[in-house]
Amino acid sequence: MDNSDIKILSRLLNNCRESDRQIGKYLGISGGSVRARIRKMEDLKIIENFTIKVDPPVLGLGVLYIVVSGQNIQEILEQIRLVGKPCFIVTCIGGVTVCGIVAKGNLEEKIELANKLMKGVRVLSIFESENPEYDSNLTKTDLEILEQLMKDPRQKIESLSKKTNFSTKTVARCIEKLNQTEGIQFTLTYNPTKIKGFIPHAILTWIEGDIKETLKILEKKFSDSFLQIPFIAKNQIVLFMFSKDIYDMDELTQKVRNIEYVKTADLFIPKKMKFLHDWLESAITELKNSPTLHLLYQTN
């Protein structure tokens, strides 16, 4: 892969509905060249599939993040099935696995339950996502279209219109709304082991101080190395980055550690990632069948 490939991958990770022409305009190349590069990455299995990522609080649900070491992922999922449904799983070099678990009810109680269930597991960290107070304002029409986009987030407006019996105008308006809704992202899953010439990695930071101000500093200093937009969970910021080699990666991590308010910065190198949509399908079905659409985030 060259710089154009990694930039295209980055654009698609942040919004896979962005057109080839738009990406090409940003990079200074033709839309046809962008299309050819995307096909190449699909043929090489770098891009595995296009998908949609929905933060559970958008639909009124809580989410826990569990980081464990040296454990079979199936055993982990078996042990936490009483806590909630998984929404993503990322396995990393060094035997570390990161899971996102969708949970209803009091999250502090869910964390206690998870700790009890996982006594035989080396748990590195369990933490909840702070209530982001999403103002999604989604309607049942939005949910109907979201359900279709789960199958193929890049499908054309005309195709969605035929499948949902909504007008193209309604579909276009809905997609624009979903695109602008914080916590909903049209993205993709990729295979880090297939990428040659770059190393994707994540830096998990613990922040002591103003998290929003810290995020601004991190974006200003490191945005050129961002593979995806950063993710915030309570007093943590996760930076998704890419480096040309291990030395560049180590230098980036050290620079992040030296930023004001950054207490710690841990490096994770992913091997495989997966988004799971069972929880999303169930949540959408439940909301569509409810007499009123109520998406207020609940913690107890």
- Domain ranges in the chain are 3-44, 54-133, 140-180, 193-271
Under the banding of pLDDT at 50, 70 and 90, the label for residue 103 is confident
Distance set, CA 225 to CA 90, 158, 251, 288 (Å): 21, 36, 12, 40
Fold classification of 54-133 is Alpha-Beta Plaits (3.30.70)
Under the banding of pLDDT at 50, 70 and 90, the label for residue 110 is confident
pLDDT at 299 over 50: no
pLDDT at 105 over 90: no
Under the banding of pLDDT at 50, 70 and 90, the label for residue 193 is very high
CATH code for the structural domain at 3-44 = 1.10.10.10
Does the model's pTM come out above 0.85? yes
Whether 45 contacts 60, CB under 8 Å: no
pLDDT at 300: 37
CATH code for the structural domain at 193-271 = 3.30.70.1150
pLDDT at 135: 63
pLDDT in tens, 215-272: 999 999 999 999 999 988 778 899 999 999 999 999 999 999 999 999 999 999 999 9
pLDDT at 132 over 80: no
Mean pLDDT of the residues in the chain: 89
Whether 50 contacts 154, CB under 8 Å: yes
Whether 278 contacts 91, CB under 8 Å: no
* Strand ranges, E, within 104-198: 122-128, 184-190
Q: DSSP letter for 129, please.
A: P
Tokens of 267: 């490096």
Asked if 54-133 and 193-271 have one fold, the answer is yes
pLDDT in tens, 70-98: 766 777 777 777 888 999 999 999 889 88
